[in-house]
């Protein structure tokens, strides 16, 4: 890369050719103020705030040499006007003056101009205190306005752009950051400019308003108080807030976030969370986060939270002391011995899973991860190695996304994969139906639902001499030119990554898919190098961590549970997810198994329990999660713990202590140390290691004038990516033939971002975005079955069982394959994998 | 509604652009959508967005940016008098005032029958023939140069008659 030397305000800088002046200045600690420029977006030069004087050496046209002054210094030619530092790239010998009288006067004029129609209502503005317009006005403003106050424009101050984001038209300085972010960065051009000049306003015409799952980010990068969230609007002043570092728990990306808290009279003197902001981690979420993470945290402070242990007495759950509850549980677990059956959900931290696992293992019990995705052992063998980063992927990389609607399953990964494709990466999207990622794909592969593993093996088939038998459903895919081209592009790329999700898969099909993915990576040599490997788009934040710690899902949970003498269910709600557990009395009958439920809420499963143990939310304690990219990241206490409450790891530890086990019950850090000493992949890790940070670019989050947004700087840890455990070998998966049924339809589960999960529903502000329970049918099928859009339907599983109590609204789409019913997870219909069903409308059976 | 009613015209417009750049047809499609009622309904914006594969906000942005597109109900005819400097030197301002007095409305207002609105606009590129104005209707634009208040008033009277008969025929206002 060619380097260029220049001088900025007397400091010599050497930067790569093509660098913009504003960035070159920042590299040596000089802030050139900006409004419209944002380091994550293309420059536009709209606001003129970054005006500087630029001198360039005079070149003699005849000789091509720099003309020198008498004293030998190069003769400089300064432009007649100020130039924008945000759009001008550096050039050799350039001299930039950002603090000259001329440049200062220019800035003062721009500020004065911007303020002519700005209300200066800082005392009531949510941005006040962290506002670059306020800061720059103090720094460069004229002090006194020449503009007549009465002639100020007065515009609407409470314009809802949808129910999540509000616009204050007076405060808007028309920098276009929000519009450009929605258009260029996340490709949801749902807000736009309307009118021109002083009449310009930001509008949305989408339904619902500002229909984008990334909308909250615009409030971060808005350099004034024009855009605010419903969550934080008028709730607190920025300088009253404390911040605590955390990790978002809504998906496996593990976005780094910061909670802002305040101790306030309106909440009875308690510390309360006022807002969630992204925290910079250029390897994970850069400076962004999605709205589910930003607004979905309210469950942690829900009034429905459990506050004390409950023990069943005379058939009723009644409050008990911790001592009573824990001793009772310990006694019964001791009796159960190897009949202890532990079920843990992927929203537990590494420490929780370690302690619960330790307890279970010590008694010889069985550990089961609650979920329907397989392959976590394979991602540990063939995952991304340390140093991998989606931001570094471009032309030399192929990314295969299979069986995933990534925009719904993990929005930030969708964004980063999309951006890699825009930088030139080969993007292969393999999914049975169109998704939002298709628009950026270089190769599209369609396969029938249930044949995802077969489709991947067909790709291997076209590349290598190994010819595993393919199921009939995908036999013809081998001849598909799209699939061949995709396989070729994947094989020829220097680096290649596969993300597999759970679109339409259950545990069996998902496990086969993961193995097929690993085969493709092995066959093409894309394992063990930076920016190569397998990533699972898990359904929960710490599913990968659970796999690392030896937790595995089982194919048939009800059957596996049968031999259990005691059930220990933490952060999972099988009875709530599948009413069959209730109907068939599989849980909670004393004679079958002693049931302990450890949760935040009194879930359907908890209602059946013999003992219910409340726990702390992740905002009240410390811990760590392992992301889908196998990055282990710490989260910190945000608000004080509730009185007499414990974290999951401590509850498990206290049960263990009563059984005479040596277990940590107080400190998450010490629990992690034990975990690291016993788990090969975690060797050498400690909380101190996880808390290490490095300088990140672009620099955001400090109170500087080169304004990247209110994203928090990362000073609490960027986390550590786990190394691969072993290379893994080529092993051909047992393919599950999921053919189309002769009669009826095939129901397949899909994932929705805004779902009915217990960690989302308590956020009432999102309710307008969370649909009623629904299923999606092919429109032709629907016509045949005489089901119209919006009709209430019921699904009847062909293999028996009864979901008759569950109704859903039918939605009709032409891009859903024929005889397929898409069933969103967590909306009440317990479709755990491809399931043959018939559809019933009102009282009639139709198919 | 719009897409159905004008499907032939829409196809004719789309055929002028390469399929992968069909968004380029946004301006003529908005123009078409405005033809009947002299404003673009929100429904029409949604349909145009769907036809072109862009967001309805993008379509609205274009409606908002250009002064000859409207997103609200207005008059059947818009009389747009140029009052830029060269026209002003040739008496455009007095002409505009005279015309408005004659019609009993102020600049920017519509005649009580909803037929004609008179507004002042920026350069129409006919400085040497001022006072001049253009008349915008669903049918397009027509130029009227070297005008007097009398000639303009009689034209407006004719427009109001036309608007009335249009309304009788069941076309928009």
Is B118 contained in some domain? yes
How many folded domains does chain A comprise?
A: 4
pLDDT computed for residue A844 by the predictor: 55
Residue B34 lies in a domain: yes
Nearest to A195 among B56, B59, B64 (CB): B64
Residue of A nearest to B69 (CA): A195
Give me the pLDDT at residue A64, please: 87
Residues of B in contact with A192 (CB under 8 A): 55, 57-58, 60-61, 64
Nearest CA in chain B to A187: B55
Interface residue B103 vs chain A (CB under 8 A): no
What residues in A contact B59, CB-CB < 8 Å?
A: 205
Interchain proximity B56–A206, CB inside 8 Å: yes
pLDDT at B173 over 50: no
Q: What 3 state SS string does A556-585 have?
A: CHHHHHCCCCEEEEECCCHHHHCCHHHHCC
A45: left (phi over 0), alpha (psi -120 to 50) or beta: left
Same domain for B97 and B58?
no
**Residues of chain A contacting B46 with CB distance shorter than 8 Å:** 205
Claim to verify: residue A561 and residue A661 sit in the same structural domain: yes
| Look-up of token digits 């760590």 | A624
From CA A35, how far away is CA A45, in angstroms rounded?
A: 9
Q: Are residues A367 and A381 in the same domain?
A: no
Taking an 8 Å cut-off on Cβ atoms, the answer to whether A195 and B59 are in contact is no
Residue A341 belongs to domain with CATH number: 3.40.50.740
Sheet holding B133-137, edge to edge: B116-121, B77-82, B133-137, B140-144
Is residue B72 included in any domain, yes or no?
Answer: no
Residue A389: name the closest of A293, A533, A262 by CA: A533
Q: Report CA Rg, chain A.
A: 29
Same domain for A484 and A531, yes or no, is yes
C-alpha A637/C-alpha A616 separation (Å) is 10
Q: Low-confidence residues of chain A, pLDDT below 50?
A: 590
In a domain, A390, yes or no: yes
Report yes or no on A692 lying in a domain: no
- Decide if B95 is inside a domain: yes
Give the pLDDT band (50/70/90) at residue B172: very low
Under 8 Å CB-to-CB from A494, ≥6 apart: which residues? A396, A397
Among B34, B65, B96, the domain-final residue is B65
Residues B27 and B60 in one domain: yes
Residue ending a domain, among A539, A572, A606, is A539
Query: Is A189's CB within 8 Å of B57's CB?
Result: yes
> What CATH number should be reported for the domain holding residue B162?
3.40.30.10
Tell me, yes or no, whether B19 and B54 share the same domain. yes
Letter string b/e over residues A671-697, b meaning 16 or more CB atoms within 10 A of that residue's CB: bbbbbbeebebbeebebeebbeeeebe
What span, in angstroms and rounded, lies between the C-alpha atoms of A818 and A479? Answer: 22
Q: What is the extent of the structural domain holding B28?
A: 2-65
Residues on chain B touching A190 (C-beta within 8 angstroms)? 55, 57
Number of structural domains (chain B) is 2
d(CA A243, CA A785): 55
CATH code, B54: 1.10.10.1590
Whether B20 and B92 map to the same domain: the answer is no
- A526 and A385 within one domain: yes
Tokens of B26: 């946004």
Domain boundary at A69, A99, A129, which?
A99
Pair (B132, B81) in one structural domain:
yes
How close B138 gets to chain A, by Cα (Å)? 21
Contact residues on chain A for B45, CB-CB shorter than 8 A: 205
- Regarding whether A508 and A402 lie in a shared domain, the answer is yes
Residue range(s) defining the domain that contains residue A400? 376-539
Interface of A with B in 619-658 (CB under 8 A): none
Q: In terms of domains, do A534 and A556 share one? A: no
- Chain B: residue nearest A209 by CA? B57
Chain B residues inside the 8 Å CB shell of A178: none
Residues A328, A443, single domain; the answer is no
**A265 inside domain:** no
pLDDT at A790: 93
How many interface pairs between A and B have CB atoms less than 8 angstroms apart? 42
Q: Is the ipTM of this complex over 0.95?
A: no
Give B 58-77 residues with CB within 8 A of chain A. 58-61, 63-65
Q: What own/partner pairs with CB < 8 Å and gap ≥ 24 does A555-564 have?
A: A555/A507, A555/A508, A557/A343, A557/A368, A557/A370, A558/A584, A558/A586, A560/A341, A560/A366, A560/A368, A561/A341, A561/A586, A561/A587, A561/A593, A562/A586, A563/A339, A563/A341, A564/A336, A564/A339, A564/A340, A564/A341, A564/A366, A564/A592, A564/A593
A673: its two tokens:
């140390």
Give all strands (DSSP E) within A168-229, no chain letters: 191-194, 201-204, 227-229
- Residue A243 counted as domain residue: no
Query: Within this chain, do residues B84 and B151 fall inside the same structural domain, yes or no?
Result: yes
Collect all residues of chain B within an 8 Å Cβ-Cβ radius of residue A205.
42, 45-46, 55-57, 59-60
CB contact under 8 A, A190 and B61: no
Long-range Cβ contact pairs of A235-239 (< 8 A, separation 24 or more): A235/A126, A235/A274, A235/A275, A236/A260, A236/A262, A236/A264, A236/A274, A236/A275, A237/A126, A237/A128, A237/A129, A238/A126, A238/A127, A238/A128, A238/A129, A238/A130, A239/A129
Do B94 and B13 share a domain, yes or no?
A: no
Q: pLDDT value at position A585?
A: 61
Q: What residues of B are in contact with residue A814 (Cβ under 8 Å)?
A: none
Cβ-proximal residues to A89 (8 Å cutoff; 6+ apart), any chain: A17, A18, A19, A20, A21
Contacting residues of A for B42, CB less than 8 Å apart: 205
Closest residue of chain B to A204, computed from CA coordinates? B57
Q: What is the pLDDT of residue A736?
A: 73
Q: Is B37 near chain A, with CB under 8 Å?
A: no
| Judgement on whether residues A357 and A492 belong to the same structural domain of the protein | no
CATH number assigned to the domain comprising residue A73:
3.10.20.740
Say if B31 falls within a structural domain: yes
Between CA A758 and CA B10 the distance in angstroms is: 48
Residues of chain A in contact with residue B44, where contact means CB-CB under 8 angstroms, are none
E-state strands within A208-338: 227-229, 242-247, 256-264, 270-278, 310-313, 316-319
Residues A323 and A304: their CA atoms lie apart, in Å, by: 23
Q: Does residue B83 form part of some domain?
A: yes
Residue B26 located in a structural domain: yes
Does the residue A530 lie in any domain? yes
Task: For residues B125 and B155, state if they share a domain.
Answer: yes
Q: Indicate whether B70 belongs to any domain.
A: no
For A:192-221, CB contacts with B below 8 A are 192-196, 203-206
In this structure, are A423 and A531 located in the same domain?
A: yes
Same domain? A398 vs A483: yes
Are B88 and B148 found together in one domain? yes
A285 assigned to some structural domain: no
Are residues A362 and A333 part of one domain?
Answer: yes
The enclosing domain of A469 has a CATH number of: 3.40.228.10
CATH, residue A775: 2.40.40.20
Give the domain-ending residue among B65, B86, B110.
B65
Q: Considering CB atoms only, which of A191, A195, A196 is closest to B57?
A: A191
Distance, in Å, from the CA atom of A238 to the CA atom of A192, rounded to the nearest integer, reads: 28
* CA distance linking residue A747 with residue A736, whole number of Å: 16
Residue of B nearest to A193 (CA): B61
A228: in domain: no
In a domain, A200, yes or no: no
pLDDT digits 0-9 by tens, B60-72: 999 999 999 999 9
In terms of domains, do A529 and A385 share one?
A: yes
Using one digit for the tens of pLDDT, what is the confidence trace for A663-719? Answer: 999 999 999 999 999 999 999 999 999 999 999 988 887 666 667 788 899 999 999
State whether residue A506 is helix, strand or coil. coil
pLDDT band of residue B144 (cuts 50, 70, 90) is: very high
């Amino acid at each position: 890369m060619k380097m260029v030397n220049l001088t900025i305000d007397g400091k010599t800088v050497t930067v790569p050719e093509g660098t913009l002046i504003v960035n070159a200045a920042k590299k040596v600690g000089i802030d050139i103020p900006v409004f419209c420029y944002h380091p994550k977006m293309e420059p536009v030069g709209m606001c003129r705030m970054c005006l500087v004087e630029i001198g360039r050496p005079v070149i003699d046209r005849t000789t091509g040499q720099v003309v020198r002054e008498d004293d030998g210094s190069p003769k400089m030619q300064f432009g007649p006007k100020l130039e924008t530092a945000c759009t001008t790239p550096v050039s050799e010998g350039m001299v930039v003056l950002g603090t000259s009288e001329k440049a200062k006067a220019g800035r003062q004029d721009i500020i004065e101009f911007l303020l002519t129609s700005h209300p200066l209502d800082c005392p009531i503005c949510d941005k006040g205190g962290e506002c670059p317009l306020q800061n720059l006005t103090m720094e460069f403003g004229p002090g006194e306005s020449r503009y007549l106050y009465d002639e100020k424009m007065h515009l609407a101050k409470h314009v809802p752009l949808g129910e999540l984001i509000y616009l204050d038209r007076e405060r808007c300085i028309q920098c276009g950051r929000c519009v450009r972010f929605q258009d260029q960065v996340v490709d949801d051009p749902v807000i736009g400019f309307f009118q021109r000049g002083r009449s310009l306003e930001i509008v949305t015409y989408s339904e619902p308003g500002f229909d984008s799952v990334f909308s909250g980010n615009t409030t971060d990068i808005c350099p004034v108080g024009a855009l605010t969230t419903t969550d934080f609007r008028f709730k607190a002043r920025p300088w009253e807030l404390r911040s605590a570092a955390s990790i978002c728990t809504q998906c496996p990306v593990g976005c780094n976030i910061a909670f802002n808290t305040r101790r306030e009279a309106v909440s009875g003197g308690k510390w309360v969370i006022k807002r969630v902001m992204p925290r910079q981690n250029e390897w994970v979420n850069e400076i962004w986060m999605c709205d589910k993470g930003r607004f979905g945290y309210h469950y942690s402070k829900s009034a429905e939270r459990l506050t004390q242990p409950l023990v069943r007495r005379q058939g009723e759950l009644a409050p008990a002391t911790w001592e009573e509850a824990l001793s009772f549980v310990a006694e019964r677990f001791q009796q159960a011995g190897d009949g202890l059956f532990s079920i843990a959900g992927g929203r537990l931290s590494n420490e929780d899973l370690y302690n619960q696992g330790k307890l279970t293992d010590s008694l010889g019990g069985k550990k089961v991860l609650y979920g329907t995705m397989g392959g976590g052992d394979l991602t540990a063998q063939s995952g991304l190695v340390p140093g991998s980063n989606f931001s570094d992927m471009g032309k030399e990389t192929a990314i295969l996304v299979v069986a995933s609607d990534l925009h719904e399953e993990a929005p930030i990964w969708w964004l980063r994969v999309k951006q890699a494709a825009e930088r030139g990466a080969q993007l292969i999207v393999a999914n049975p139906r169109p998704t939002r990622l298709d628009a950026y794909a270089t190769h599209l592969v369609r396969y029938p639902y249930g044949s995802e593993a077969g489709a991947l093996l067909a790709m291997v088939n076209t590349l290598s001499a190994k010819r595993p038998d393919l199921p009939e459903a995908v036999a013809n895919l081998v001849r598909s030119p799209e699939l061949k081209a995709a396989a070729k592009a994947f094989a020829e790329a220097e680096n290649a990554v596969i993300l597999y999700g759970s679109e339409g898969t259950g545990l069996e099909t998902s496990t086969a898919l993961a193995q097929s993915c690993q085969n493709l990576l092995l066959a093409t040599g894309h394992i063990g190098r930076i920016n190569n490997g397998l990533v699972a788009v898990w359904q929960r934040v710490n599913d990968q961590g659970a796999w690392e710690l030896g937790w595995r899902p089982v194919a048939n949970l009800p059957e596996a549970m049968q031999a259990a003498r005691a059930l220990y269910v933490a952060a999972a709600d099988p009875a709530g997810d599948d009413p069959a557990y209730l109907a068939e009395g599989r849980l909670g009958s004393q004679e079958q198994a002693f049931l302990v439920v450890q949760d935040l809420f009194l879930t359907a499963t908890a209602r059946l329990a013999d003992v219910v143990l409340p726990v702390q939310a992740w905002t009240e304690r410390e811990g760590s999660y392992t992301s889908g990219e196998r990055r282990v990241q710490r989260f910190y206490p945000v608000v004080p713990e509730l009185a007499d409450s414990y974290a999951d790891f401590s509850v498990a530890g206290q049960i263990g202590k009563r059984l005479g086990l040596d277990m940590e019950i107080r400190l998450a850090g010490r629990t992690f140390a034990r975990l690291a000493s016993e788990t090969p992949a975690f060797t050498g890790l400690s909380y101190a290691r996880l808390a290490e940070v490095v300088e990140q670019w672009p620099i955001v989050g400090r109170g500087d004038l080169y304004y990247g947004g209110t994203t928090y700087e990362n000073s609490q840890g960027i986390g550590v990516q786990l190394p691969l455990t072993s290379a893994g070998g080529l092993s051909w998966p047992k393919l599950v033939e999921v053919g189309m049924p002769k009669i009826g339809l095939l129901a397949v589960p899909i994932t929705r971002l805004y779902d009915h999960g217990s960690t989302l529903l308590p956020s009432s502000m999102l309710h307008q975005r969370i649909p009623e329970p629904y299923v999606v049918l092919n429109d032709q099928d629907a016509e045949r079955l005489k089901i119209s859009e919006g009709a209430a339907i019921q699904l009847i599983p062909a293999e028996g069982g009864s979901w008759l109590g569950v109704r859903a609204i039918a939605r009709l789409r032409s891009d859903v394959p024929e005889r397929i019913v898409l069933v969103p997870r967590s909306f009440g219909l317990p479709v755990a994998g491809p399931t043959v069903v018939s559809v019933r409308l009102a009282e009639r059976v139709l198919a | 509604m719009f897409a159905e009613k004008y499907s032939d015209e829409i196809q004719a417009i789309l055929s002028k652009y390469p399929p992968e750049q069909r968004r380029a047809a946004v301006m003529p499609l908005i123009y078409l959508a405005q033809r009947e009622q002299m404003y673009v309904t929100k429904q029409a914006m949604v349909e145009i967005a769907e036809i072109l594969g862009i967001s309805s906000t993008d379509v609205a942005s274009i409606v908002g940016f250009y002064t000859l597109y409207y997103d609200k109900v207005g008059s059947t005819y818009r009389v747009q008098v140029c009052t830029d400097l060269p026209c002003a030197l040739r008496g455009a301002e007095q002409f505009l005032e005279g015309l408005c007095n004659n019609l009993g409305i102020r600049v920017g207002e519509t005649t009580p029958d909803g037929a004609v609105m008179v507004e002042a606009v920026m350069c129409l590129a006919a400085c040497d023939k001022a006072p001049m104005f253009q008349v915008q209707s669903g049918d397009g634009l027509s130029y009227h140069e070297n005008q007097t208040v009398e000639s303009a008033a009689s034209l407006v009277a004719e427009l109001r008659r036309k608007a009335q008969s249009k309304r009788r025929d069941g076309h928009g206002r």
